[in-house]
Amino acid sequence: MDTRRRNLPLFLLASFIFGLKTYIVYRFLFQIEIDNALQEFIIFINPFIASIIFLGLSIWIERPERRLAFIKYSALIGTLIIYFNLLFYRSFTDFLTIPQLFQTSNFLDLSTSIITLIKIYDILLFLDVFIIWFLCKKVDVNDIKANSRRTKSFALVIFLLLLTGNFLLAEVERPQLLSRGFDREYLVKNIGIFYFHIYDVFVQSKMRSQRVLADDNDVLTISKYINDEVRNDKKSELFGVGKGRNVIFISAESVQSFVINNQLHGEDITPFLNSLINHEDTFYFENFYHQTSQGKTSDSEFLTENSLYPLSGGAVFFTHAQNDYHAMPEILKSENYESIVFHANTNTFWNRNQMYESFHIEQFYDKDFYDVTEVNEIGWGLKDKEFFTQTIPYLRELNQPFYAKLITITNHFPFELDEGDRSLEPYDSNSITLNNYFPTVRYTDEAIEQLFLQLKASGLYDNSIIIIMGDHDGISANHNKAMASYLGKEEITPYDYLQLQRVPLYIHIPGYGKGEIMSKIAGQIDLKPTILHLLGIDTSHDIYFGNDLFHDDRKGFIVQRNGNFISDDYIYTNNTCYDRKTGDIIAVEGEGREKETPCSPIKEKVNQELEYSDQIIYGDLFRFIQFEEN
């Protein structure tokens, strides 16, 4: 009795304090959507159940000082896990995964961005740790006795009942929850951050085994799906229109479509990109969506070069850089194209130095190739105008035809720009991030206009196809309140937020003269077949999940990595099926509501595509294929 009076109350008190802190973070710092009373109940009880189970493991530790140390350090480690996830969430509205923890080469480059995410009040998140440490210090270890076998058995039964109850409630609220690992918010909402990380370890271990178990039969199944559901081997009207031309691909950092043809302070935000929309040589895709996940710019590159989906957790550039791929540069090489990337950042960031080799990119002009000074440098490398200016001489030296990708930097979080470089004043809202976003977007717009003039002066313009694409979103859901204010809305609904994932895509073909605004839905997955077809390159033996954007007969939906999608008629997000054109809710899935909606048939295909793409990556399936002899 004495043991339980002195030991269990401390362990339970520590669990209550830590659980309360965790609940506050879930409910008020993570912007997790709560749709019903059951979700509210689950997200309330989960922190306390997790705390009781994890801190309760101290019952099995015999030595009193080690038992107290376990409680103290468990609280500290648990708090650090929560805090690192919070910092990550503030930037990406997402949760950390195991693969991201191994992206250590990015940490130094991210240091400036991380500092901007830290808030003064964050110190309060460690208050419970100080309290728990203080309580442990007040305990006399001589009064703590070993727990009996009966006590341990009783605790084990209680813990298993609590854990089972938590997971049963989660399964009732979200059937087949653990098979939907691509939706991390639902996992955290229903099982909590700690169980999510344990689940993530299990998933990553399972994925590692897929390469060992994979064989060429998997390729045949996927190839059949692509032939039946994705590929259209009929040639579009623009097939071969750019044969023999250079391809200059501008990856516009964090540029979203909401700034295009929009104003701030009575001025156009992107005057040059606006003017390019109606240019006779330009195709502008107004419903083009980024499809990146945690890999951000590297995911964008992976999508465009391979027409495969990125992974739901981490970045393929880190986790599977040694795979065999059949990327666009490899295909272009067989057509005598030289493939080059220009990016004034370190070559190890996003592990590009390794992944580019797997893509058969022949040269990477990284930061070492540029004259970077205190004047022309911005947090991540060269400012865009200087970057383009210093890149032009390299472009002129290349053998033609070439495929050159130019990756900009200035419009990168935290969107800092010297006043002398601003030609548009910041917005005025409660979000510093959104406020500063507008001047950096304007700067990138001006830099791209400058590049067009430089390409003309260098003689490269007329014999090139110039592609401008926003690589991913720059404004996360954490800034929805400020975004709603700017857009003149009462709030940003899940439908609105998915529409904000549109990024600009321009395909500019000098001298073509028949450009137009393209309204059909499109995504980054479509770039590979589109570019290759423009160059007159046959892709009938390739494996990819995109469509030629100049072909009318397409599969009709664009997939987000978390399982959301946009189709010709519907938008599916947050468990809800919307009318794409009006934004009206058509149906909501879930308990007590419709389980089959107009979105359901497309949703099955979406999940199938994501699964097949994952199989290709995790199983390294292209190692079984000789594409040249296919």
Assigned domain for 224 exists: no
* DSSP 8-state class, residue 465: E
Assigned domain for 163 exists: yes
Assigned domain for 543 exists: yes
CA 423 → CA 206, 218, 267, distances in Å?
51, 54, 10
Q: What is the CATH number of the domain that holds 487?
A: 3.40.720.10
Number of other residues whose CB lies within 10 A of the CB of residue 536: 16
Q: Are residues 186 and 288 in the same domain?
A: no
Of the three residues 184, 207, 230, the one that is the final residue of a domain is 207
Q: Are residues 317 and 202 in the same domain?
A: no
Assigned domain for 615 exists: no
User: Is 116 one of the annotated active-site residues of the chain?
Assistant: no
Tell me the mean pLDDT in the region 378-384.
85
Q: Which two tokens stand for residue 15?
A: 């669990």
Q: How many helices (H) and strands (E) does the chain have?
A: 20, 19
Q: Is the pLDDT reported for residue 409 higher than 90?
A: yes
Q: Is the pLDDT reported for residue 272 higher than 80?
A: yes
Residues 6+ away with beta carbon under 8 Å from 373: none
Question: Is 554 within 8 Å of 474 (Cβ atoms)?
Answer: no
Q: Are residues 268 and 178 in the same domain?
A: no
Structural domain harbouring 65: 2-207
Q: Are residues 62 and 186 in the same domain?
A: yes
Q: Are residues 196 and 250 in the same domain?
A: no
Burial of 371 (0-12, 13-18, 19+ CB in 10 A): exposed
Tell me: the pLDDT tens digits for 329-365?
Answer: 999 999 999 999 999 988 777 889 889 999 999 999 9
Assigned domain for 95 exists: yes
pLDDT given for residue 100 in this prediction: 62
Residue, of 260 and 11, whose pLDDT is higher: 260
Domain count, the chain: 2
Q: Are residues 253 and 182 in the same domain?
A: no
pLDDT given for residue 99 in this prediction: 63
Q: Are residues 250 and 172 in the same domain?
A: no
Q: How large is the C-alpha radius of gyration of the chain?
A: 26
Q: Are residues 202 and 249 in the same domain?
A: no
Tell me: the pLDDT tens digits for 608-627?
Answer: 999 999 999 999 999 998 88
Minimal CA–CA distance to 106: which of 274, 320, 296?
A: 296
Of the three residues 496, 516, 550, the one that is the final residue of a domain is 550
Q: What is the mean pLDDT of the chain?
A: 89
Question: Is 603 within 8 Å of 565 (Cβ atoms)?
Answer: yes
Assigned domain for 304 exists: yes
Assigned domain for 302 exists: yes
pLDDT given for residue 3 in this prediction: 40
Q: How confident is the model at residue 6 (pLDDT cuts 50, 70, 90)?
A: very low
Q: Which two tokens stand for residue 290?
A: 């980024």
Q: Are residues 295 and 380 in the same domain?
A: yes
Q: How confident is the model at residue 2 (pLDDT cuts 50, 70, 90)?
A: very low
Q: Which entry of 282, 292, 297, 408 is annotated as an active-site residue?
A: 297
pTM above 0.75, yes or no: yes
First to last CA, the chain: 75
Tell me the mean pLDDT in the region 138-164.
85
Tell me the mean pLDDT in the region 433-454.
97
Q: Is the pLDDT reported for residue 388 higher than 60?
A: yes
Q: Are residues 143 and 250 in the same domain?
A: no
Q: Is the pLDDT reported for residue 198 higher than 60?
A: yes
Q: Are residues 177 and 314 in the same domain?
A: no
- H/E stretch holding 338 reads strand 338-342
Assigned domain for 591 exists: no
C-alpha to C-alpha distance for 464 and 250, rounded to whole angstroms: 13
The owner of tokens 């917005």 is 427
Sign of torsion over alpha carbons 115, 368, 329, 238: positive
Of the three residues 516, 550, 584, the one that is the final residue of a domain is 550
Q: Which two tokens stand for residue 149?
A: 């076998």
Tell me: the pLDDT tens digits for 296-336?
Answer: 999 999 999 999 999 987 788 888 888 999 999 999 999 99
Q: Are residues 250 and 187 in the same domain?
A: no
Phi (first) and psi of residue 463, to 5 degrees: -105, 30
3-state secondary structure of 577: strand
